[in-house]
Structure 1
């Protein structure tokens, strides 16, 4: 199978990538730096991580990376990122195109794929407005309600999962000086999460609590000197959160941070419904922290009181965390079992096997 996997990253990750890749002068060198940093690695298929000659990987939204490829291949002028991606697919003689960025490259893009592409799939685990993915052979996600939503929109949808990144095994084997860590976004889409963060932030008076927040542009504006003169109070972070907030962390720095924490707090976004099991769950458990997350329907291997702990309300979250820290030997056993369970169930070989099976059904 000649596989092409297209990915993307958060705009806030770009400064880190540019710093890490400061000495990279070619497409291959910059791509290698990115893959080594492991941003989003739970979604990258085994042949990509193995460097298989039949697998091609790129970030179609990385203008620096893509324009380097275009120059190296002799593409003239200033081609669009879409034109470069299509040229890469044709150059690679791709048979199966797997896209992690379908909002940027929806059905209209699929219609332009070269004839060598036999099957096109995409991953989308969140609502996407009016984006059209019906031209894809299948939309993949690990939330049943999300799959039902895509089917109602006329898409074929198939169950699929992130996987344990084996590099996580390198982290989290020493002391864990941080009591509670949270890493994630903070925006108008996270109102319930924000209530939980505010309540847990109060534990910082007696515990080591670290929040690394990727604040939205509106939140940043609201907290700026000019923004404080505008009617944006509802978009500012509460004082308890702002007092301990740090910049977002990504890649191996994220693994290192979670591996230094006893507890990793997670909270689903408001649009997730009752389904649970986002990538942060995989990262938290994979790096050996005790996952404390909001109650809901979790995937196999994530069981409250056995491999994770769950909470129902912001107040309950603080209670669960305090209790877990008080009885840390028991909590550490739950975390260790969770780490082993995720590694055993959702390993990369399983993910690739499932992908091949899905492709075979299309």
Structure 2
């Protein structure tokens, strides 16, 4: 099987990637630096991470990366990102196209794929507006309610899951000086999460609470000197949150922080309903921290009685944190069980096997 996996970058991650890859000159060097940093590795299929000669990986929205490939292949002028991606697929003689960035490359792009491509799948588990993904053989995700919304739009939608990244086994085997860690986004899609963060931030005078927040563009503007004069109050973070907020972290930096944290706090995006199991759950458990997340329907193995802890409200979340930290020697056993469970149930081997089954049924 000749597999092509396309992904994308968070805008706030680009600066870190450019720093890590500053001395690279070729497409392959920059791509390998990215893959080694493990940003998004829970979603990358086993042949990609293994470096299989039949697997090709790129970030179609990484202009530096893609233009290097275009120059190396002798493409004339300044080709558009879509043209470069199509040329890569044709050059690779791709048979299976798996796209992690389908809103950027929707059905209109699929219609232009070369004849070598026999199967197309994409992952989408986030707000998507009016994106048309009906031309894909299947839309994959692990939130049943979102899968149903794609079916209502005429797509075939199938269950799939992020997987435990084996590199996470390198982290979290020493002391855990951080009591509570939250790393994630802060935007209009996170209203419920914002209330929890405000409640937990109040513990910062008693415990070591670390927030590494990826704030939205409007939030950054609202908190700027100019933004204070604009009608953007609803986009400003509470002072108690701003007081401990630090810039976002990704990849191995995130793994390292999770390996130093007793508790990793999580909150689902509002549009997921009661479905739970975002990538942060897999990362936190995989690095051996106790996952403390909002109550809801979790995937197999994420059991509030055995491997994770859950909260209902901000006050309940604060109480859960205090109880866990006051009894950490026992709670740590729960976190360790979570680590073993996510490693066993959601391995890269199982993820790849399920991908193969999905292909067989397209």
TM bucket by the smaller chain?
over 0.9
User: Which sections of structure 1, spanning at least 5 residues, go unmatched?
Assistant: none
The equivalent residue for 1:300 is 300
Mapped to 1, the partners of 2:227 and 2:325 lie a distance apart of: 38
1:16 aligns to 2:16 (yes or no): yes
2:352 alignment partner in structure 1: 352
| C-alpha distance in structure 2 between counterparts of 1:307 and 1:176, whole Å | 18
Superposed CA offset, 1:100-129 (max 9, x none)? 000000000000000000010000012311
2:274 paired residue number: 274
Structure 1 counterpart of 2:36:
36
Count of paired positions: 362
Pair 1:133 & 2:133 matched: yes
Q: Is residue 331 of structure 1 aligned with residue 336 of structure 2?
A: no
Q: Whole-Å Cα distance in 1 between the matches of residues 106 and 185 of structure 2?
A: 24
Structure-2 residue corresponding to 1:218 = 218
CA distance in structure 2 between the partners assigned to 1:19 and 1:149 by the alignment: 39
List aligned pairs for 1:114-129, cutoff 5 A. Answer: 114-129=114-129
Structure 1 residue 231: deviation in Å? 1.7
Residue 53 (structure 1) aligns with: 53
Other-structure match for 2:160: 160
Q: Secondary structure at the match of 1:184?
A: strand
Distance 1:231 1:118 in 2: 51
TM-score normalised by structure 2 residue count: 0.99
Displacement of 1:305: 2.5
Matched, 1:322 2:322: yes
1-side partners of 2:93 and 2:337: how far apart?
43
Aligned-residue CA RMSD (Å) = 0.5
**Partner Cα distance (1:100, 1:128) in 2:** 13
Q: Which residue of 2 aligns with 1:101?
A: 101
Q: What's the TM-score, normalizing by structure 1?
A: 0.99
The CA distance in 2 between the partners of 1:29 and 1:268, in whole Å, is 35
- Show CA shifts across 1:285-319 (max 9, x none): 00000000000000000000210000000111111
Classify the secondary structure of the residue corresponding to 2:277: coil
Large movers: runs of 4+ above 4 Å: none
How far apart are the structure 1 equivalents of 2:231 and 2:303?
A: 43
- What is the alpha-carbon distance in structure 1 between the residues aligned to residue 123 and residue 232 of structure 2? 34
Counterparts of 2:330 and 2:100 in 1: how far apart (Å)? Answer: 38
